[in-house]
């Protein structure tokens, strides 16, 4: 009789445990999923983030993990293509059974995936390289937005800082060169809105397709306006192609671009021609150890091999880990969402995150940098 009672008790515990268990969570592990470009023209962006996050997870695991569980990351290559991001996310959730998502890349890929995959599946995503308004919709308007936790400032925030700087210098003839996708269009909208506050409008607008460096038509259109300045809402390869082409036609406007360009990659691509280009940044300067979170990030990286993408990947991972810690031992996706929502003004070490029941904005941190002599990025 005692044997049967013991078996019944064991069976009850096993049954209870099975009923409670969440996908991607075991007694010893938490599995997270990531989709980003790991190859192709934009592969350097995703590789940089993945390397930082993986190294950080190793550090956390060595210290005992999160409430006794080790972190595992499954990262899939999407080549910065929307269809592949959607397919990857379905694979991560349905086949790999990840608990949550981390560090995505791109406005159009993330927006489509939020609305068709991880939002309807109620799987939270922490962090994406995008400041698009489509990822910052009201939760009342779009219930899928409940599962998108932005970490960086918006493109509207970046554009306003850039435009205010240009206008303060007396510039009024300001053109826009943008990428023809969610990223570029959101940036264009941000620049247009910022200019409108000064009773101005873009003097010319040129565009380039995603994953393309065919900038001839954009250069022709923008050069006709002989702009004093150009805001470039593009990634590093088309940005470099545009800068070179503008110089070839004798145009030398003030040039500024938004943070996704990757200032370090732009320097590698352009060389000396990158000097003088301004870049807005949405995370602290990675080469200065004054800010505590930057010091922590530097300890993870090879000395001097710091980058803005690495810094941002670290902040995304740090935000996720803080949410996991707050969610407690009995981990569920709903508890993770609630714990992230409790991070109103959470200080990650000099970088504050602001979430709440109705907001997923993350941070509004923006500062301007410029590429100096020798490709050094200066504050």
In the chain the domains, ranked by start, together with CATH numbers, are 8-153+290-362 (3.40.50.2300), 155-281 (3.40.50.2300)
Contact 145, 139 (CB under 8 A): yes
Q: Is 362 left (phi over 0), alpha (psi -120 to 50) or beta?
A: left
Q: Which residue has the tokens 């923008």?
A: 222
* Cα 180 from Cα 255, distance rounded (Å): 19
Q: Which residues of the chain have pLDDT under 70?
A: 1-20
Closest by Cα among 159, 117, 109, 163 to 135: 109
Q: Give the pLDDT confidence score for residue 257 in this predicted structure.
A: 97
Q: Give the pLDDT confidence score for residue 4 in this predicted structure.
A: 35
* Cα 168 from Cα 82, distance rounded (Å): 38
Q: Give the pLDDT confidence score for residue 307 in this predicted structure.
A: 92
**DSSP string across 187-247:** HHHHHHHHHHTTT---S-EEEE-TT----HHHHHHHHHT--SEEEEES-HHHHHHHHHHHH
What string of H, E and C letters represents the secondary structure of 251-271? CCCEEEECHHHCHHHHHHHHH
Residue 305, token pair as written in the block? 């091999």
Q: Give the pLDDT confidence score for residue 45 in this predicted structure.
A: 92
Strand partners, 232: 177, 257
Q: pLDDT tens digit string along 116-168?
A: 999 999 999 999 999 999 999 889 999 999 999 999 999 999 999 999 999 99
In angstroms, what CA-CA distances link 210 with 168, 178, 247? Answer: 32, 10, 22
Burial class (CB in 10 A: 0-12, 13-18, 19+), 74: middle
Strand partners, 317: none
* Cα 120 from Cα 153, distance rounded (Å): 25
The structure's pTM equals 0.90
Q: Give the pLDDT confidence score for residue 302 in this predicted structure.
A: 77
């Amino acid at each position: 009789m005692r044997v049967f009672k013991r078996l019944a008790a064991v069976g009850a515990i096993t049954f209870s445990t099975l009923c409670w268990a969440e996908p991607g969570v075991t007694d010893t592990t938490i599995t997270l999923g990531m989709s980003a470009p790991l190859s192709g023209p934009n592969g350097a962006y995703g590789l940089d983030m993945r390397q930082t996050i993986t190294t950080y997870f190793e550090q956390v695991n060595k210290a005992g993990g999160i409430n006794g569980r080790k972190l595992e990351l499954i990262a899939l290559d999407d080549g910065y293509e929307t269809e592949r991001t959607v397919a990857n996310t379905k694979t991560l959730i349905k086949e790999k059974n990840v608990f949550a998502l981390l560090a995505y890349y791109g406005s159009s890929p993330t927006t489509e995936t939020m609305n068709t995959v991880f939002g309807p599946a109620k799987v939270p995503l922490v962090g994406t390289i995008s400041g698009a308004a489509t990822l910052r919709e009201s939760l009342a308007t779009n219930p899928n937005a409940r599962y998108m936790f932005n970490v960086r400032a918006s493109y509207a925030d970046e554009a306003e800082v850039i435009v205010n700087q240009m206008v303060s210098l007396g510039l009024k003839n300001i053109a826009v060169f943008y990428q023809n996708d969610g990223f570029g269009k959101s940036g264009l909208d941000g620049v247009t809105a910022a200019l409108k506050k000064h009773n101005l409008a873009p003097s010319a607008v040129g565009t380039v397709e995603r994953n393309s460096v065919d900038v001839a038509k954009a250069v022709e259109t923008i050069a006709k306006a002989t702009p004093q300045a150009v805001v470039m809402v593009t990634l590093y390869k088309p940005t470099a192609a545009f800068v070179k082409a503008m110089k070839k036609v004798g145009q030398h406007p003030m040039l500024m671009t938004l943070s996704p360009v990757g200032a370090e990659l732009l320097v590698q691509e352009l060389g000396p021609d990158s000097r003088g280009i301004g870049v807005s940044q949405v995370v602290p300067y990675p080469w200065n150890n004054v800010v505590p979170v930057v010091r922590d990030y530097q300890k993870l990286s090879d000395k001097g091999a710091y980058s803005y993408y690495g810094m941002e990947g670290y902040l995304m991972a740090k935000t996720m880990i803080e949410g996991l810690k707050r969610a407690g031992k009995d981990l569920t996706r709903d508890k993770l969402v609630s714990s992230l929502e409790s991070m109103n003004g959470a200080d990650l070490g000099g970088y504050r995150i602001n979430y709440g029941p109705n907001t997923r904005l993350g941070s509004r941190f923006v500062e301007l940098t410029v590429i100096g002599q020798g490709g050094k990025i200066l504050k």
